[in-house]
Amino acid sequence: MKRTFFRFFLGSCLLIWSGAVLAQTSGPPAAPPPVEPPSVQTPSPPVMQPAPPPAPAVAPPVATPKSVGPRRFYNPGTVETLAGEVVDVQRGPVRQGGKGNVVRFHLKTDKETILVFLGPAKFVDNLPVKLAAGDKVQVKGSRITGPKGRTSITAAEVTKGGQVMKLRDDNGTPLWPKNQGKKPRPLKTS
């Protein structure tokens, strides 16, 4: 009996307390905020401002290896033709520790010695034109500035004597097959 009375008493206290809390939170309805009478404004005269100066002409972007797309190492806007002598011919990855076997050479001109990239060794080796140190050549290609500020030429064609080594079309698209120079993936067997 004591337990029943105690539960009844606790329930009643809880009910009274929750009613008091509800009464405090709901309270009388809040009055709407006072409305200010509309003010009459006289229009101010328009202020004449000088026209902004024309935007300066923007130079065409210089292609860098970080640009996107299949021609990321070739920009048709930076194509030039250089003549000079082959200093050395190299084979190996584009960068140290990289993959692939790319053919490149240093070209010594009247003004500079610059690195010229040809393409994958499998493609270049199958062309009839062979390059060696001391050869006099003419290179048509795109001048590219790399991420570390080094400039190089991505060759579209190299002329040696009367022979022409065609590597890319006028837009810079490589003439070799898409996966040339890459190792084939092993077939999955189930």
Give pLDDT tens digits for 19-30: 555 555 555 556
In the prediction, which pLDDT does 130 show? 93
Q: Is the pLDDT confidence value at 131 over 60? A: yes
- Whole domain around residue 139: which residue ranges? 76-166
User: Does residue 11 lie within any of the structural domains?
Assistant: no
Q: For the domain that residue 160 is a member of, what is the CATH number?
A: 2.40.50.140
Question: Bridge partners of 107?
Answer: 86, 114
In the prediction, which pLDDT does 148 show? 80
User: Does residue 92 lie within any of the structural domains?
Assistant: yes
In the prediction, which pLDDT does 57 show? 63
pLDDT tens digits for range 11-65: 665 556 555 555 555 555 566 666 666 666 666 666 667 777 776 666 555 444 4
User: Does residue 147 lie within any of the structural domains?
Assistant: yes
Q: Which of 129, 105, 100 is nearest to 115 (CA)?
A: 105
Number of separate domains in the chain: 1
User: Does residue 82 lie within any of the structural domains?
Assistant: yes
Q: Which residues contact 175 (CB under 8 A, 6 or more apart)?
A: 123, 166, 167, 168, 169
User: Does residue 66 lie within any of the structural domains?
Assistant: no
DSSP characters over 75-125: -GGGEEEEEEEEEEEEEE-SSTT--S-EEEEEEE-SS-EEEEEEEEHHHHH
Measured at the CA of 107, the angle between CA 102 and CA 111, to 5 degrees, comes to 145
pLDDT tens digits for range 139-172: 999 998 877 888 899 999 999 999 999 999 988 8
